[in-house]
Amino acid sequence: MNASLPSLTTRDTVLVSLFAALIVVFSLMPPVPLAGIPVPITLQTLGVMLAGAMLGPWRGFLACALYMLLWMIGLPVLPGGRGGLGVLAGPTGGFLVGMVLGAVLIGALVQSWLPRLRQVVAQGAAVFLACLIGGIALVYAVGVPWLAVTTGMGLEKAAWASLVFVPGDLVKAALVATIVVQVRRAWPMPWR
């Protein structure tokens, strides 16, 4: 079985870079700190959901991995102007790792579901569901235990505290669904 990685075209490289930059822009929007939890409300996941849904699993992964590389080498591209490997050891580290995995899952689900659907409402619902599964459930599945371990607050308390993010993430998923359906109607792009 030959499981080679797809080669990148110039178009792929531009799209990956563009979406990594988009995630950086969303990350640099001022974070909203919350009482009782050391993880702020940010717009990062909006960029991650868009990358996965628009680019597909492979390019979505690369866009998020490039963003991750930028902050890991110390560039201040995280909310609050943070960066560096030390972020991984903090309470937000799991959410950041989960975002990369989430983009892959969103991309795979959208790539699988959208071509089979003809109605705009069904396509929007499929993208929304993909964002719920990959952009919320998977990100939280990695981020919440990480938050619990790094803060010592316990898994149950971390899970309850993280529920404060759900309404905003649902709005982001709905926004992504609307954008993706409209953009793909005007500019169909093959997923990779």
pLDDT tens figures, 43-79: 999 999 999 999 999 999 999 999 999 999 999 999 8
pLDDT at residue 38 is higher than 60: yes
Residue 19 structure tokens: 């979406």
Kindly report the pTM of this predicted structure: 0.91
State how far the alpha carbon of 115 is from the alpha carbons of 100, 102, 189, in Å. 24, 20, 12
pLDDT at residue 102 is higher than 70: yes
Express each pLDDT in 131-164 by its tens digit: 999 999 999 999 999 999 999 999 999 999 899 8
Residue 1: its pLDDT value, please? 47
User: From CA 95, how far away is CA 115, in angstroms rounded?
Assistant: 30
Express each pLDDT in 113-136 by its tens digit: 998 999 999 999 999 999 999 999
Residue 2: its pLDDT value, please? 52
Place 10 in a pLDDT band, splitting at 50, 70 and 90: very high
Residue 32: its pLDDT value, please? 80
Terminal-residue alpha carbon distance, the chain = 19
Sketch out the chain's domains with CATH numbers. Answer: 10-186 (1.10.1760.20)
Q: Mean per-residue pLDDT for 70-91? A: 92
Q: What is the mean pLDDT of the chain?
A: 91
